[in-house]
Structure 1
Amino acid sequence: MDTTRMEHKNKKKKRGRKLFLFLLVLLLIITGYTVFQYYQGLQMADAGDKKENYEFNGDTDENGRVNILLMGVDSRSEEKSRTDTMMIAQIDPKTNETKLVSLMRDIYVEIPGYQNYKLNTAFYLGGPELLRKTIKQNFGVEIQHYMLVDFKGFEKTVDILAPNGIKIDVEKAMSENIGVQLEQGTQRLNGKELLGYARFRADREGDFGRVERQQKVISAVKEEALSLDSLTKLPKMIGATQPYIETNMGKFDQLGLIKDVLLDSNNIKKLTIPVEGSYTNGYYEHAGSVIEINFAQNSEELQKFLNE
């Protein structure tokens, strides 16, 4: 009886060792594949040494929430760029709730130390820190972190994620100031075309239409990213886009933000500033066409949205 028990125990131990070795080998294969794909992605990037260590001095939020300034720029068009896309992402560690605020680039604002100008000019004049100060002065919102994304990285992300393009219903023909020519109708867009679609604003809707298209693009990219085939490409995608991202956030915080904004975008509360009925269109010789807003109304709506 004792001999039988010993043999049974030995067989269980052998099976346990085999299972352990199998899982260990599987883990090594997955790790090796991930690292290989990541560095393969890095080699695909051609951002060179463009990264800068920007100053950013946001104070801690008294309620423990984390506000992140998201900016999209096209560094290829000029040596100093204006921010084409500006958003504030808020993460509440206590509730795991994420909120996203889109800021229109043409809002006419007070820029600390300079004359009044469009909101996106603040980055041109003083980088993320001056844009942070401008948002705080005009809207009373404190921001702790920033993430600056070069649009070239977005193009590479899309092309790796979906080599055959991402399906989008283009509502009208588009070509002005976006670097590509798009026809009306449902089609698959590559990275450059999808970026052009998201940036188009040469119609009556202007920036407001562009914000809607940006949200539409986020949803389309999310759907593609959730497919099994695309999940295997994520390490390469992260490697290829890393040189095009500048931030004062840690790697894990970056991944958490990407997950919340991209992969879980349906659960995010969204707000666009200015809110409906709180603005008029204006024009100044030094700034061109601008959006003049009711700051009291918009600041109140923004504070209520972020702090409710």
Structure 2
Amino acid sequence: MRTKRHRSSFKKVLIGFFLLISFIVVFLVIYSVSQYQKGLASNADKKETSDIEETTQEPFEGEEVQFGEVKILLIGSDARKGEQGRSDTLMIAYYNQNTHRIKLASLMRDTYVEVPGYGMQKLNAAYSFGGPELVRKTIEHNFDLDINYYAIVNFTGFPKLVDLVAPNGIKVEVENEMSTGIGMTLHPGKQSLNGEELLGYVRFRKDNLNDFGRVARQQEALEKVLAEAVTVHNIVQLPKILGTAASYVETNIDNRILFTMGKDIVANKTNELEKLRIPIQDSFTDQNVDVGAVLSIDLEENKQALKEFFSEENIAIKE
């Protein structure tokens, strides 16, 4: 008799436990959706005046994936309102939803490559000629690399996204005074930069390292922003962050896929960023051609470097 009562009590506890779990799951789903909608609503009026310009070029034809290995073309555009502009920053972000590895390859904008339909050009000219799809084709043509999605952030959106993710700023060490060409002066030393200041930090290139230093700072900044994104504060804010980001980012990534990847990255606290720069060290020469100063690269060596970097079996690649 006592055994039956014990079993009955245990069953009630078990049922209660599963009901509690179900309630929590339902609550989290409702909360996530509501926060996402709040993010969209809070920026609905800003969307009309945002500097993001929907491109009118041919549609992006990267193969869409639902799960597994995802490659996203990240474009930092120098376009102003009503302009197409050139890509000020070009990166390929990689995320594997099975291994939770995040990789980031920066492509130097002055890399001299063949742009389909336009001959030999600087890599960043592809965006001006044909938007993200032509950039995708150019990367595929030269480096035999498939890109699944794209995301464009311009000068207006970057600071706002940084301030949203890191309201207390991003800590960096400014090695030398930075002022030329960035509309502000950053003094040497360790400090926390807000969104506008961080934009100046990652855009500065008027020193001995020029674009090479800038690319290194861009990778540093993204790594630190990613680390902020997986903090406890931002785990709760994730739906709202994604909703708000929609106002400042032009992308072809479906909201469901974006939210799934965001939750996965946060849940696994994936903030270790593996980095690569193209062209890699000792694989290029500086040249002056009809389109200006370019980086003439060893195409095969850099193609192989990208292939190995995005392989799940890579160990280390020289920069």
Q: TM-score of the superposition, structure 1-length normalised?
A: 0.80
Which residue of structure 2 aligns with residue 269 of structure 1?
274
Q: 1:189 to 1:27 in 2, by over 3 A?
A: same
Matches within 5 A, 1:1-308: 5=5, 20=19, 24=23, 30-31=28-29, 33-45=31-43, 46-48=46-48, 50-52=53-55, 55-58=59-62, 66-76=70-80, 79-92=83-96, 97-255=101-259, 257=261, 264-266=270-272, 268-285=273-290, 287-307=291-311
Aligned-pair identity in percent equals 42
Structure 1 stretches lacking a partner, 5+ long: none
Q: 1:12 to 1:238 in 2, by over 3 A?
A: same
Task: Give deviations 1:105-133, integer Å, cap 9, x for gaps.
Answer: 11122211114221011011101111112
- Structure 2 letter corresponding to 1:47: K
For 2:101 and 2:230, locate their aligned partners in 1 and report how far apart those are by CA, in whole Å.
21
Q: Is the 8 A contact 1:156 1:240 kept in 2?
A: no
Task: Give deviations 1:233-253, integer Å, cap 9, x for gaps.
Answer: 322221111122233332343
SS class of match (2:282): coil
Q: Is the 8 A contact 2:37 2:240 kept in 1?
A: yes
Alignment coverage as a number of residue pairs = 301
How much does 1:10 deviate?
Answer: 8.5
Task: Give deviations 1:269-301, integer Å, cap 9, x for gaps.
Answer: 33211010111222235x333222122322232
How much does 1:138 deviate?
Answer: 2.0
Rg (Cα) greater in structure: 1
How much does 1:29 deviate?
Answer: 5.9
How much does 1:151 deviate?
Answer: 4.1
For 1:10 and 1:138, locate their aligned partners in 2 and report how far apart those are by CA, in whole Å.
67
Task: Give deviations 1:20-73, integer Å, cap 9, x for gaps.
Answer: 47973x666655554443333224432328435751224689xx8543322222
For 1:274 and 1:18, locate their aligned partners in 2 and report how far apart those are by CA, in whole Å.
56
Structure 2 stretches lacking a partner, 5+ long: 314-319
- Structure 1 letter corresponding to 2:89: T
- Structure 1 letter corresponding to 2:211: D
How much does 1:207 deviate?
Answer: 2.0
Query: What's the C-alpha RMSD, in Å, of the aligned pairs?
Result: 3.6
How much does 1:88 deviate?
Answer: 1.9
For 1:162 and 1:171, locate their aligned partners in 2 and report how far apart those are by CA, in whole Å.
22
Q: Is the 8 A contact 1:82 1:120 kept in 2?
A: yes
Q: Is the 8 A contact 1:280 1:291 kept in 2?
A: yes
How much does 1:152 deviate?
Answer: 2.9
Q: Is the 8 A contact 2:90 2:106 kept in 1?
A: yes
Q: Is the 8 A contact 1:153 1:240 kept in 2?
A: no
